[in-house]
A and B are shown apart, each in its own frame.
Chain A
Amino acid sequence: MENIGGLCLILAFCLGVYSVLASVIGAWKQRPFLLVSAQRAVYSVWVLVATASALLVYAIMTDDFSIQYVWAHSNKAMATIYKFTAWWGGQEGSLLFWSFILSSYTAVVVFTTRKKHEYRAMMPWITAVLMFTLVFFLMLVAFVEHPFRILAIGRAATPMDDGRGLDPLLQYWTMVIHPPFLYLGYVGFVVPFAFAMGSLITKQPGDGWIHTTRRWALITWAFQSTGILLGAGWAYAVLGWGGYWGWDPVENASLLPWITATSFLHSVMMQEKKGMMKVWNMVLVSTTFFLCIFGTFLTRSGIVSSVHAFAQSSLGNYFVVFLAVGIGATTWLILNRLPYLKSETQLESVVSRESSFLFNNLILLASCFAILWGTLFPVISEAVTGEKITVDAPYFNRVNIPIGLFLLFLTGVGPLIAWRRSSGDALKRAFLMPTVGAVIFMSVLVSLGIHHVYAVISFGLCFFVTATIGSEFWKGSRSIAAKDNVNLLRGAIELTHRNTRRYGGYIVHMGIVVMFIGFTGSAFNIDRTVEVKVGSTFKLGRYDLKVADMKGGENENYVWNHAIIEARSGNELVATLKPELRKYAVSGSQTSNVAIRRALNEDLYLNFAGMTADSKVILQSYVFPLVSFIWVGYWVLLIGTLICLVPSKIKLQYAKMEVVGIARQPQPVEN
């Protein structure tokens, strides 16, 4: 089986190389048969990679511990679902998983565009870019980090009785789907990038590549968002420290392409509606793609210390070469095609929607740069001063909190400000009420004793954005309700359906607002670590927590102890929580299973940290106000994204068609 798997990967690599060459030569020399065979090679590669993946999964499922990868990442006792996750649990398998997703995406792109004549010129180049990226990963998986290596002593294969298995901490449902979602998001951005490059190479004048890839970009952005949130949710519910984001280099690496992708999703609107920011969009889509590759490089190269990084390996050098070649070629291509990327309109006023988009982009990029700088600070400092220095969470928070608040402000301002230029009166009409409302709301918060500056500003901005978005829905829905004689809810649904992109976008913004409420809640966290005897009570915030009992036991896997904690608010028993401490027999590792009482207003979070010598329970107890808003906000964001993907009922005419006398002469088009 390992031989067939290995052969599949080598054949896939060879066919991938053929596909790239056939696409390029076919397009260059105008040889249709080469182009057709290149596309067939794409499907063949998919079959081969899928076969190799299926063989690896089969080996894991059937406990074939003669294969080193299976032995290292699975064992007999693991549940079937966790065995399946071993596919991407290690270096080699995750590279195969990358290749499988990319191969699937490529096959889907080729299949769905096969009859679209408008892509005839671009498709060979799109195929070449996609397959070039795939060939890189196939090279790694076929020749460098091979997943089908067998365990052997001398020349004899040596199957082991059982494998090492997956760490107990990872046997949690969000960890099953967190990596695939992140990978789907990371890999997915190859497609918009390939279309952008195809457009540049063939000197396409318009923004056809944006129309085509907008859905790809949105879907992959949703995958990235989901992957990031699942990771945060896992850290919160499993790791026992109560946090959801630690600014670790690898966490940052997943955030960087998300930020540039967010920026791209905004700035493409400028190109579609105003013919502006064409170069910028090329830069953004390329940056997002290369940051996706960079994130993979960071996780696997060992360039920076991270608790999430894979083992040190020689992979880093390959990634450096790929990034250098890719960035160099892309930069040259963009510079060479600048005449085709000139803006059709100019910025007329700082107080305009165009300007708010530009600010949004630049601020997002500033955040991206600050995070990248902090992440690579050890590398930079070592290169400059010879000393390896790292920066911690306070650095990231200090820079990113003001950025986040400014972006939140723009979220409220952008949609209501007019294109081209906004007059003072128009601004007053749009923003007076939301601003007054936000100021009153902030005053009320201060009078209630909330003096945390950032928190007050954040809550005020959340109010402001909610008011501006709400007013947009209110005005539109009321108008439709009156005209069509339907109720307000039907009016709102009709309004959203007429322009799903705009109103879906507003719902995404509302999701962000709700998440910001959750983030802001962390300013009021309460924590207390106590050593208490059974029967004793201690206070945490509004709760009286009583250690009612201790129970223990064991099974074949671990010894467990849990404390039974009664949480009372006033005289009312609000929850009985059972944080648990486990000690695993084989590994000797100790894990804490936290107990959480979740509520919208606050979570009560208990971690059983251990016992003292005199049999007191060591309990780390926390109250996390508003943290549930983060998870609720994610669902709102996802719903908004899905609405954006639904075709609008009414075909929109873009404003740029109405702009007269400002546009420059269109640039000559070469075919």
Chain B
Amino acid sequence: MKPPPFGYSRPESVADALATLARLGPDGKVLAGGQSLLPILSMRLAAPHHLVDINRLSELGYVRVEGGDVRVGALARHAQVLADLPARAAQPLLGKALRLVAHATIRNRGTTVGSIVHADPSGEMTAVLALLGGTVRVATTAGERDVPARDFFVGPLESAVQPGELAVSATFPVLPPRAGTAFVEVARRNGDYAVCGVGALVELDADGAVSSARTAYLSVSPTPLVLDLTDAIGSEPDFAAAAVAAREQVEPEPDIHASADYRRHLAGVLTERALREAHAEALERSGRD
């Protein structure tokens, strides 16, 4: 077998899972879709003692629009969220970003909550959660807590979920009126993690002027970077100025796929594109053009 040896449990209920995780403490590791965890094990980059497989917890396999939020259960696969029309209507950014997550076979297994807990700074859904200011609900045998996105991402591949805890859902605020979103990225190959990606959320006031312009970035920082470009873009939207501001604020690292300069350049170009597209959608949703 490629991975190092590990113990394995497959609880049948959330209560059961929480009890198992509590018992195992630091030795336990949640296995969701396995699309990130199993490659890590196979490459022997991690050697958890015991995997707690949550794939039987069908009670967590939901996508709901409730109140002002889209709530996604921990067992909802990327594909399921992507196919959920009410959720996508309530927060269109979900669909726009999920289309860019890996490719279909990976989306059929990988979970949206799993990708958020995995906290990969190249993951689209981490950026979406950060941009929209969503929360993650984390449970233990002692109870539940809601962790806001800004506290959730601690470092690269490190989230606020502690040993013994299970993330049970993530919530994404629905799109306010007079607002629009976009997600654009550049990958070296279709379906790959992006060399750089940008999500944007633009809100307009009643007069159609930009009241808020925010962007979130992939692959340019250790944790999802969110920029408030409202001032840079101005009320008469100057997308190029916003791009310049973004370029100045990102601090990307080079790797074999791209130099830091190229990533910085992409951050600028994609910022402009994402904001332009989000702004156009905001205008359209405001019923004017």
A, B in one complex: no
Residues of B within 8 A of A (CB): none
Residues of A within 8 A of B (CB): none
